[in-house]
Structure 1
Amino acid sequence: MTQPNLHPQPSATWAADATARSNGKGRFGREVGYLLSGLPLGTAAFVLLVTGFALGAGTLILLFGVFVLGGTLSVARFFARVEAAQIAHATGRALPPPADGPRRGGWGLLADAQGWRDLVHAIVAFPVRVATFALTLVWLCAGLGGTTYGLWSWSIPRDEYDGWIDLAFGWSGTGADILGNTTAGLFFLLTSVPVIHGLALTQSGLGRVLLRGGRL
């Protein structure tokens, strides 16, 4: 009886290592792009879908609203496909396919469970996207601006206080101002990778839960 080969072939091991390296390479840049693009896409989705839902619900008694709501769910599905593609690109892990396909015709449009999940995601994810966009921008700007503060601090108008370090600790003088801002910039710069990664996991995790019910 032939014993099964419990040890992976060198080629298979190399392929798995190469896949892991490709997923890790450039991950920070992909996550930054995912977080910064989330706000304009989320704003467009939120405005279009909330408007469509309100118009469709308000005209549902006239039957015209059935088609408006159906079109709104189709738009929600489009934005959900964009989000799924972004999650796969940023995290290296694709979302599973939707559990059901879109319904067609009349009231069947309103029975599209996946479309309703996509609509809920666009609405619930909007404030999360606003927060992750703002925090990403703060960490990047504070990190880059703080570490290079000594090069451009001369252009800042001065008053009776020498920046936040003077207000917080009473340390006056240009040297203390530059030291304080450079130290703060280094903090943001050194913590940017785990913070950005955590924000990307939060935003993509919300998509996995709402778009696919948490299915891996």
Structure 2
Amino acid sequence: MTGTAVPSPDASADGVAGPSPGRGGRAVPDPVRADPVRADPVRVGTGRPAQRRGVVARAGRDLRYLIGGLPLCVVAFVVAIAGFAAGVSTIVVWIGLPILLFTLRAARGLATVERRSTEAVLGRPLPPHHYREPTGRGLRRMLRSLAEPQSWRDLLHAVVGFPLRLTCFIVAVVWTAVALGSTLYVTWQWALPYDAEFSGFYGIVAGQASRLIDVAITTAGGIVLLLLLPVVLRVLVIARAAVARGLLTNQSAALRARTTQLAASRRAAVAAEAQTLRRLERDIHDGPQQRLVRLTMDLEAVTRRLDDDPDRARSLVAEALEQSREALTELRALSRGIAPPILADRGLGPALAAAAARCPVEVSLDVDLPADGRLPGEVENAAYFVVTESLTNVAKHSAASHCAVTVRLDGERVLVQVLDDGVGGAHLGKGHGLAGLADRLSAVDGMLDVDSPPGGPTVLTADIPLVGDEGE
């Protein structure tokens, strides 16, 4: 619903029947209401003609993969051998270090191309890989980059993969050429000399020349080779992909890195929860608790003056009622900061509309979500608190006159952007509110980015996955 106003919190649902929500809030067609007329072509398309087209299409992809890999493997082999030799031979004069770094970086880029092309031809992703991020500065960072094991595996793949990919290229090209040439032999055999010295395959075997029999045997052999071509190409693809899987992936290192990331996310979530509880305790102590203490004192005064000074008692009762109303208002505000009922009942769009209406700064809201507007609960909570915390910071610190909030679904992720025209200077430094917001997002595998130069504007962007990596 991009470009349309978000319904107000009091607006009612339209109740129109439609597709049922799937995972991540996306609409899934209702199978009960499927059109039976449209199902017939699908059944026809899954027969033998469609299977043959699928085999031919896959053979074409395999052939492109095997032939197109030759230029890449030549470049990778030359870069690997030349760069490694030049780097090692000049390392004593320190020139070799940047040469080796450049070589490893080039091998890493070529390995990325190989991974993507292999995943495309296989139709499924390869196991994960992981590069350790170098730390430090200067020489220390350079040495740690050289100590990255996956980069050396990429370099080894460039060397080891060269003869294999060259062999795959030769076999694929020769088999395809012979299969096509033999199958179409009848169309070009007339151009060949046919005498005692050249009498074709049949003449060599049987000792007598027969052009017709020779054409028939050659064509039959070509058809057999052509029928076997998809199998041969697939075997070559699997062989090349096996080398890529063995050298260009490091699942154990990727899992260790993921474990470390999850542990850090858990610590960040615990810290964010503790900070939220401390802030809640402080807000209750400074707000509703003080008003309830004042209410108790007023009621005690009423009981003492009810008989001898009824007028004063009535004024104290009025003050007590005002204190109770203000305490109730503050408790409602605190409850909205914990788990707003409108978010659970109505979804993210109406909840954000209510939050924008409460903000003292003018807010324009653009929410582009599925038709039912519902996302997984943890995603809605994270997106809601990103917006509400950002609006709170805008109202308190930015001196902005206008704020724009955008929420949209981008594939399997929710992107939240809050832009204001304030003074800028916001950052994710430890001890600031945005740092706690980043910790909250890390608990759901989300990321927070803040661009806030001095003088503004400030752009806060949150990237929240619909499903965490551990759940995929």
TM-score (structure 1 length as normaliser): 0.83
Q: Quote how far apart the aligned CAs of 1:46 are.
A: 0.4
Change over 3 Å in CA distance of 1:208–1:56 after alignment to 2: same
Matched, 1:96 2:127: yes
Matching of residues 109-128 of structure 1 within 5 Å: 109-128=145-164
Q: CA deviation at 1:102?
A: 5.1
Q: 1:28 aligns with which of 37, 53, 59?
A: 59
Q: Which residue of 1 aligns with 2:234?
A: 197
TM-superposition CA deviations, 1:129-153 (whole Å, max 9, x none): 1111111112211111111100111
Written as runs of structure 1 = structure 2, the 5 A alignment for 1:118-197 is 118-159=154-195, 160-197=197-234
Give the deviation of 1:171 after TM superposition. 4.4
Q: Could you say what secondary structure the match of 1:126 adopts?
A: helix
Residue by residue over 1:53-102, the C-alpha shift from the partner in whole angstroms, topping out at 9 and shown as x without a partner, is 00001001111101100100000001100000001110011123322235
Higher mean alpha-carbon deviation, 167-176 vs 145-154, is at 167-176
Structure 1 stretches lacking a partner, 5+ long:
1-9, 12-20
The DSSP-based 3-state class of the residue aligned with 1:191 is: helix
Q: Per-residue deviation at 1:203?
A: 0.5
- Cα distance in 2 for partners of 1:165, 1:94 equals 48
Mapped to 2, the partners of 1:76 and 1:169 lie a distance apart of: 55
Question: Which one of the candidate residues 92, 100, 116 is aligned to 1:61?
Answer: 92
- The code of the aligned residue for 2:129 comes to P
The alignment status of 1:77 with 2:108, answered yes or no, reads yes
Contact persistence 1:102–1:114 (CA under 8 A) = no
Which structure carries more helix by proportion? 1
Q: Residues 57 and 179 of structure 1: is their aligned pair in 2 closer, same or farther, counting only changes over 3 Å? A: same
Pairwise CA distance, 1:113 = 0.9
TM-score, length basis structure 2? 0.39
Aligned to 2:7: none
> Letter of the aligned partner of 2:192 in structure 1?
I
Percent pairwise identity = 35
C-alpha change, 1:40 and 1:168, in structure 2 (3 Å) is farther
Number of equivalences:
198
Q: In structure 2, what is the Cα distance between the partners aligned to 1:213 and 1:164? A: 51
Query: Which is strand-richer, 1 or 2?
Result: 2
2:80 matched residue in structure 1: 49
Radius of gyration: which is bigger? 2
CA distance in 2, matches of 1:165, 1:62: 68
